[in-house]
Structure 1
Amino acid sequence: MITRFVAAAVFAAAALSASTPAVAEDLPPAAGSVRPDIDPFYSPPPDLASYRDGQLVDHREVDVDLGIPVRAWQLSFRTNDSRDHPELGVTTVLVPTAPWTGSGRRPVVSEQLPEDSTGTRCAPSYTLVNHTAQSAEPLTQMLAKGWIVAVPDHEGPKSGFLTGPRTAHTILDGIRAVGGFEPAGVGPDAVWGLDGYSGGGAATAWAAQLQPSYAPGLSFAGAAIGGVPADLTALTARFDGSVFSGYNFGILVAFDREYPEADIGDLLDERGQAAIAAAGDACVTDLLVTFAFRRLDDYTRGTVLLQSPRFAAILRDNSLGATAPAMPIFNYHADTDEIVPVDQADQLMARWRAGGTTIETVRDPLGEHGLEALRRVPDAQAFLADRMAAADR
């Protein structure tokens, strides 16, 4: 990891070279174009613990080209990890430049992209600026409707893939930060929508589930979630040794970082330690290609990893369903989803309904995980539009 001092020196050198005339390579790097690992914008201030949850730390305007004219800013703010330790969060807020001509206030949504990674080079704030964002179709369609959209780096600075509580904290504190950022024109009393699919659906579900306890002062019209990985115990068992086993190695890296006191790495042998290192800065495609068909127990010191008390407890703690959201939910899933089985999503919806959540579900008899995301985008956005309009009346 490059230190903050070295990162600052890199930027200082770029700024110094920019003072000399006049070739393109002498210009300083564009805002947001440098990997978060070495960009001082992502470094927390020493007094971060003194900031309120969601309090703005810094902001900068960035250039984001999604085919719709927008103004875009990256906001950094105080949030908390899974154990409520202070952490710096980042969200990108995109505001269409065209005037809002719809009735009522311009809708505002937090869109959780499926980051599914172990490296900050895969974080949305970086990929949106550098034209490498994946699964951004819902985002572009919302912007085309004239909606304001916030896109949080919901995995946080440690790239915490599927670490539920810290993901929820980042989303909710990002919404607080946007509400306090006047140039976005949202305001602290806005009624928000939440949206996400797959890994972004899990992040959205966690934010909906923890909102009543963590951010009761925020107002939400509803949340649309699809293809949601809810039960990590069931999913890791399903992924192990399959074509999708790379997800397990991403989870292993994320939980080892998020819960160092569990000392998960001590359960691994030398091959396991090498695998963790190799998986430590990977986007989703890297994980799936590198670790396809691998079994976790081939990398341990004779431990059945998925049944070890330490690891099993963390899987349970990061599975959804302990409490029910207060906001209405739209949930969609293909019955034949080849990655995230529908039964564990059905079980989550049953628990939430029993807790009093109002839920509208759509189940498609035939469908594939990626195509289901595209198929139901219009329905998810219609659900959010209807509820935001009703909240505005």
Structure 2
Amino acid sequence: MRKPCALAVTAALACTCMFLPAAASASAAAPAATTAPGSTVPDQDPFYAAPGNIASYAPGAVVDSRPVPGVNLFGIDVPVNAWQISYRTNDSHGQPELAVTTLVVPKAAWTGSGPRPVVSLQTPEDSVGTSCAPSYQIATGKDVQDAALGAQLLLANWAVAVPDFEGPRSVFLAGPQAGHAVLDGIRAVKAFGTAGIGRDNPWALDGYSGGAEATGWAAQLQTSYAPEVKLAGAAIGGLPSDPAAVGSYIDGTAFAGFEFAAAYGIATEFPEAGIDGLLNSRGRQDFASIKGSCELTILPSYAFRRLNEDTTAADPLAVPSVAAVLRANTLGAAAPATAVYDYHADTDEIVPVGQDNDAVSGWCAAGGTVEKVRDLLGEHVEEVAARAVSVELFLADRFAHKPAPDNC
């Protein structure tokens, strides 16, 4: 769900970077961090290590920061200033941990009314290794997807924050963990107070595919977890709202690697699911192999595989302990307070539209405001490009305080 998305927008990105607004760079205080962003993988970079007293920090409190100098894409300079910000967040069980977000601010001055808008962009990492995290990928200058997905927002002269929402253990499709990391990332950026981004800027959410899952959880948890974080709107596309339904849909297909990555992520974040105890010898070998892997390695390695080949259960997703955890990680139980733009291709070959429809139905029944858009034809990769302008227009209208469409 991650790198394939980049293919749909890479061609336009090379031109897009050339047209980003340019101006004099902003200044920021020198951080305490000593290692250079992207110089070493997060597992070996002290910047990503939680301090021993992480529990004493409030959720969203800034732990450290450092600038990301010379943001570029394969050597092409991008006219932005960027910082990595580490902060305290909570995992799915409420335990403290360290997360990192990357704040990207156009160098051009903001000339619109009020403070510059900021979008928390959740990109589809869909991996189980920290070297796949957006903060590291952006710093290396090789992350086509994150640059491509953020280009449309930066062209609007908005600031963008890109959180490593899978957390320090890279747990793919762990819903509450992702939602917490997104919301606490917004808190951290507000507290960081740099380059005109502070307490008063309006915020919105944007995410597609695996990033939509994190976006949906942040929107759904906002009222209970971070009620002071006000959101103008949330754009959510190709949403994998129900991990069990998605897993069943892609089991045995070319995209089965996503199911195996999710199984590993859920097992890591939720030991109470008992997944490790269901593994046979092949499963234990596969879990050892997939650890630390990024999507481009995972997909070919597990293509056309079935999850029950790795377990002692004929239907591992139906095992009661597993099913209970998967239900707890399914969206739709509570309505987001912010307006939602939910888009999906009816013919999506990776994320089935039906389970997204179920999430929207749940949000609507609970009183949410949702503009549901369904395209009769389209592939998963194509949909993010097809709806890019619609997403920008939706967010622009929300920042302009226009009434939100609602077809619940």
Give the structure-2-normalised TM-score.
0.86
Instruction: Determine if contact 1:252/1:276 at 8 Å carries over to the other structure.
Output: no
Cα RMSD (Å): 1.4
What is the CA–CA distance in structure 2 between the aligned matches of 1:68 and 1:156, rounded to whole Å?
Answer: 27
Q: How many residue pairs align between the two structures?
A: 364
Q: Distance in 2 between matches of 1:234 and 1:134?
A: 29
Matching of residues 1-393 of structure 1 within 5 Å: 30-63=36-69, 64-66=71-73, 67-136=77-146, 137-390=148-401
Partners of 2:280 and 2:121 lie apart in 1 by 39
Which whole-Å CA distance do the structure 1 matches of 2:192 and 2:199 have between them?
Answer: 9
Letter paired with 2:233: G
Aligned twin of 1:11:
none
Q: Quick check: 86-95 or 66-75, which moved more?
A: 66-75
Aligned to 1:104, the other structure's residue is in SS state coil
SS of residue matched to 1:32? coil
Deviation at 1:258, TM superposition (A): 0.6
Question: Quick one: distance in 1 between partners of 2:362 and 2:225?
Answer: 20
Name the CA distance, whole Å, in 2 between partners of 1:290 and 1:299. 14
Q: Is the 8 A contact 1:189 1:219 kept in 2?
A: no
Residue aligned with 2:233, SS = strand
Instruction: Report Cα offsets for 1:347-381 as digits up to 9, x if no partner.
Output: 11111111111111221111111111011011111
Cα offsets for 1:140-176 (capped at 9, x unmatched):
1211221110000011111110100010000000000
Choose 1 or 2 for highest CA Rg.
1
The 3-state SS of whatever aligns with 2:367 is: coil
Give the superposition deviation at 1:29. 6.6
Task: Give, in angstroms, the shift of residue 51 of structure 1.
Answer: 0.4
Aligned partner of 1:54: which letter?
Answer: G
Report SS of the residue matched to 1:221. Answer: coil
Q: Report if aligned partners of 1:68, 1:144 keep a CA contact under 8 Å in 2.
A: no
Q: Deviations over 1:291-336 (max 9, x none)?
A: 0111111112245311111211111111111111000001111111
More displaced 10-residue stretch of structure 1: 131-140 or 95-104: 131-140
Q: Which runs of 5+ in 1 are unaligned?
A: 1-27
CA distance in 1, matches of 2:145, 2:357: 24
Deviation of 1:42 (Å): 0.3
Which stretches in structure 2 are left out of the alignment for 5+ residues?
1-33, 403-408
Offset of residue 191 of structure 1: 2.1
Show CA shifts across 1:27-66 (max 9, x none): x973332100100000000000000010000000013225
Mean CA deviation greater in 252-261 or 110-119: 252-261
Equivalent AA in structure 2 for residue 164 of structure 1: G
Q: Which residue of structure 1 aligns with residue 5 of structure 2?
A: none
Q: State the identity %.
A: 52
CA apart distance, 1:134:
4.2
- Cα distance in 2 between the residues matched to 1:73 and 1:386: 28
Cα pair 1:335 1:366 within 8 Å, conserved: yes
Which is worse superposed, 102-111 or 377-386?
A: 102-111
- 2:193/2:199 contact within 8 Å kept: no
Q: Please list every run of at least 4 consecutive aligned residues from structure 1 whose deviation after the TM superposition is greater than 3 angstroms.
A: none
2-side partners of 1:56 and 1:285: how far apart?
32
Separation in structure 1 between the aligned mates of residue 271 and residue 234 of structure 2, nearest angstrom: 32
